[in-house]
Amino acid sequence: MRQPASFPFGEPEPALSSSPTAQSDHRGARAAGERPPRERTLPDLLQERVRTDPHATALADDAATLSFRQLNARANQLAHLLIGLGAGPERVVGVALPRSIDAIVAMVAVLKTGAAYLPLNPDYPVERIAFMAADSAPVTVLAADTVGLKPADLPGTRLLGWEGLDTSAYPTADPTDDDRTRPLRAAHPLYLIYTSGSTGAPKGVLMPALSLVNLLAWHGERFACGPDVVVANLSAIGFDFSMHEMLAALVHGKRLAVPTEETRRDPVRLVHWLDRHGVNQVFLPNVLIESMCEAAEEAGVALDGLTDIVQSGEPLVLGEGMRRFVREHPGLRVHNHYGATEMQDVTAWICDADTLRPPAAGTPLWNTRVHLLDRELRPVPDGVAGDLYVSGVGLARGYLNRPGLTAERFLPDPFGEPGRRMYRTGDVARWNGDGELECLGRSDNQVKLNGFRVELGEVEAHLRERPEVARAVVLPRENARGGKQLIAYVVPAGPARPDSRALRLELARVLPPHMVPAAVVTLTEFPLSSNGKIDLRALPSPATGSGGSRPGTPDEEAMVDAFTEVLGVADVGADDDFFALGGDSIAAVRLVIRARRDGKAISTRDVFELGTPRRLAGAGAVQDVRNIPVRPLLALHHKHLGRLQAARPDIEHLLPVSPVQQGFLFHRLQDADGPDVYTQQLVLRLGGRVSGTALRAAARELLARHEALRAGFFTEGLPEPVQLVAAEAELPWRETDLSRLDVRDADAEVRRLTEESRAVPFDLCVPPLLRLHLIHRSPQDHHLAIDYHHILLDGWSLTLLVRELFARYRGDGDPAPAPSTRDWLRAMRSRDGDEAALAWRTALTGIPEPTVLAPAADGARPAPSSARYVLDLPARTTDSLAALGRAGRVTVNTIVQAMWGVLLGSETGTRDVVFGTTVSGRTPDVEAVDRMMGLLINTIPVAVRIRPEESVSTMLRRLQHEHQTLVPHQHLGLGSLQRLLGWSAEFDTLLVFENSEMQLHTTAGAAEEPRVTEVELSDDTHYAISLLATPGPRLRLSLTYRPGLIGADRIRSLAGRLARLLTAVAENPHRPVGELPAAAGAESASVS
């Protein structure tokens, strides 16, 4: 351990004995019944479990399981590798892996070496991880590529990439003291966890194994244990509570179920996951328990298997949702544990449906004594508030490299045996009439948010480091949902007002997400109380918008209302920037559509360039596209018309096809006998009661209302392809009951049925190109599979279809006629083709051919099957990219496009890159275009010219401007563009930024059924790689690829390098493009 002299507490503390000194009860003290602490190490306990239940499941996620024997073997191999690097007692090993089975294997491996496990949360800023590494001097840090750590981030620290780690040559036998660098003892540190520090830097807390062993022994008598018990791995990475959660499960032979981080953060998805895995015990902070209970009620998920909810990290509040949940689960127990990073849980309290009462912190655990003392360290009577101190075996050693702070917080225990210490918690508490501890608040400047400790002084210290800030105060404030969030108040150092967005961005670079204030409020001076101190109660609540600049005209007022409606933001000022308030390109489209209803014909380009309600209010009047004189939509010779009428007598309309539809037809005709990659499938999981009869009737109404759903497509014997809208079409419908199958068999059968259905191609001449299959798993659990051909619908339309389907199911369907795509087709054909051709020729001049990443061999036709690789960026990187976009007035889409271009340039050795993207095609000058169902998207080329000397921020602004210049000309088809530019080949990569994500969890209210609880979309393209970037708390990069053209290893490399590029841009957007890490790890462009 670095600077071991800082820790004079090398041996276990004396156990609480039966001597008069130790057991004499003073006023204000409580102790548990004493049990001699077990002088065991964690490797001993884990290996004992492997011998007892070798074949029982230790770990499980949605794709894999590990038995205790398999976990032990994998962890042992890694442990031997780490020991060879110097890992052992009194040393530290860092682990920076996302929530996964791998992360738990790594933790167990570190414990087996005898080293202290240092969890490094991938969501933390690189600067904070770098501080922890520099402070703790780990032997090595195990890191996943997705975390984005580079050797330069951790100078002097060995960085081991998890993906490239090969432990196969190392023994699977348990490491012994003969293997370790020194014999392992219970007094050696088990883990090192960093917590918020009041001085501006986090502080590391070292916890000896004996402390946790004592807690785990107590746990074994308090909770159900064994292979039939399932525990969910939900505690935050780097939160001390997670060690109790994970190791209690492993030591006591339970199954630890591991969700993805995305599932953990989505309450509705989480409750379905908990139900699917049959989880019995969860460890969560209070706010997440409340959201879990409410989500289970809303989604209609019973969670009947849940027996224990364990809360720690913040005061337990039994909200109404939690109370209802407990009352509806008679066997459920809610546990409130009191503890801190500096000590294991030291008290516990239980309630159930029969004993719902105001929560207390409870009574002490084994070998623990709790003292309530006054400022002179004298005991206080029962019922009187006192400062809370804790002594016993549950205490940490102290703070790493902070002997002064350790001595200040870990004091000699005047009521115990010589050598015993007590920890000053900073909490104020009292003993109630039932002999239970009640916590009343803090005596210092520390708060708990969502289970995390936040030293307000640390956030304030970082704010005061900024030259534009003279003074800073940070407070927790209640938000509109009743939760708490941090609000920062600053006084500027000069006449210029600090940029709140820039301040938050800077804080996000050095603080974890839970410590970054939700808002920064600038004041000329802080309000003072009569005694001259800052009057915290007089600090104003923050507004979402600035509210400072009121609209001066009716047009400005209308535009402010449009901002408010589209962005969901309160108190918008006339000079507030659209993107600073959270807008993006899709929101810009919705703003244009919303403004049109008020008679304002603004464009998305106006939104990007003007940006504020005041500037946008001056736009001109609406032009009605129905009054534009255009040529007929379709002119067919009577012989061609006769042929169509013979094939389909019930023709309602004949319409031209769009450029993208023409492309789909081309690819289908080119491979008429093979699988159709554009047969798509949407599978919705539904909770609640579902009537198949009523849902089928709703689908039939939908088919009758929307002509686009009744379209078939004809090419044979015609001068140009046409779409024929039939007057009527019978909807293919299937219904299957799986309620007699158990969960696993039902899962397998659902997969078989949906995969089998998607494999059946559509005859594009026979409408409808749509079929539905309702699968009942139980009276409260169902799947609805919607197969459709992409030629029929785009993603926007698919969302409209699902929402209207369930609205009609509930009897809320719109009775008005549906808007027709005929107006849209008419508008597209009215566009000036010559002007568009000139614009594209100018934009792409000098680029001889589009970029081809994985050329097929001559004459070769790759297999149509595809594979997918998904990578989620860390939340901090995602937040930084969004902040960069707002500050630079560019979209995250532009940032991703730019870095994809840089990556392709590195791969192919060119500075002029062209790849494809899709645009919505929903131009706001068409009435009701946002409510049209059909295929309105278009595929267009994106040119990225790479200038190494140019800064990244300048490149982004240039690309944004170039792309916006082409927006009025995005209707031109890809085939026309290829002919115009003389290109002999087509680009083979497509990038789609899905900012119209299907968010259907709220299609019904809490009392309405059915409720959409899970959404799975299976789609494909003919491109070698289709990159789908999906925004969210963690930007998701999903690469669908053709294995016949490009290998899985190369795809993983491309994904990892794109993630590193985006991380680099988020960290420093001012660096030259030529200094980006694009070439690192570049591979040959040959097929892998």
**CATH number of the domain where residue 1027 is located:** 3.30.559.30
pLDDT tens digits, one per residue of 802-836: 999 999 999 888 888 888 888 888 888 777 677 88
In a domain, 299, yes or no: no
Banded model confidence at residue 208, pLDDT cuts 50, 70, 90 = very high
CATH of the domain at 458: 3.30.300.30
Mean pLDDT on 219-229: 93
Residues 1034 and 979 in one domain: yes
CB 212 within 8 A of CB 190: yes
Q: What are phi and psi of 219, to 5 degrees?
A: -55, -40
Cα gap 1004→807, rounded to integer Å = 9
Closest CA to 883 of 871, 868, 895, 872: 895
Residue 739, H or E segment = none
This prediction's pTM: 0.55
CATH of the domain at 770: 3.30.559.10
State yes or no: pLDDT of 55 exceeds 50.
yes
In a domain, 362, yes or no: no
Closest CA to 236 of 343, 124, 108: 124
Q: Which one of 823, 857, 881 terminates a domain?
A: 823
Q: What's the pLDDT score for residue 626?
A: 36
CB 588 within 8 A of CB 922: no
Residues 811 and 878 in one domain: no
Q: Which one of 823, 855, 882 terminates a domain?
A: 823
Cα gap 131→137, rounded to integer Å = 10
Three-class SS of residue 561? helix
The total of structural domains in the chain comes to 4
Residues 730 and 795 in one domain: yes
Residues 613 and 760 in one domain: no
Residues 873 and 758 in one domain: no
Strand pairing class (92-96; 116-119): parallel
Which residues form the domain of 884?
Answer: 867-997+1021-1075
CATH of the domain at 559: 1.10.1200.10
Residue type, 99: R
Q: What's the pLDDT score for residue 1081?
A: 41
Residues 511 and 580 in one domain: no
Residues 814 and 690 in one domain: yes
DSSP string across 32-90: PPP-PPP---HHHHHHHHHHH-TTSEEEE-SS-EEEHHHHHHHHHHHHHHHHHTT--TT
In a domain, 631, yes or no: no
Q: How far is CA 481 from the centre of its chain?
A: 20
Strand order in the sheet with 1011-1018: 733-737, 770-778, 781-789, 679-687, 1011-1018
Banded model confidence at residue 496, pLDDT cuts 50, 70, 90 = confident
Q: What's the pLDDT score for residue 462?
A: 85
Residues 594 and 466 in one domain: no
State yes or no: pLDDT of 70 exceeds 70.
yes
Residues 732 and 678 in one domain: yes
In a domain, 168, yes or no: no
Residues 607 and 515 in one domain: no
Residues 992 and 1068 in one domain: yes
Banded model confidence at residue 531, pLDDT cuts 50, 70, 90 = low
Residues 726 and 796 in one domain: yes
Q: How far is CA 970 from the centre of its chain?
A: 32
Query: pLDDT: is 608 or 894 the higher one?
Result: 894
State yes or no: pLDDT of 188 exceeds 60.
yes
In a domain, 69, yes or no: no
In a domain, 1088, yes or no: no
In a domain, 871, yes or no: yes
The token duo for 78 is 């890694």
Q: Which one of 606, 622, 638 terminates a domain?
A: 622
State yes or no: pLDDT of 196 exceeds 70.
yes
pLDDT tens digits, one per residue of 104-122: 999 999 999 999 999 999 9
Mean pLDDT on 953-960: 93
Mean pLDDT on 700-710: 94
Cα gap 910→901, rounded to integer Å = 10
In a domain, 280, yes or no: no
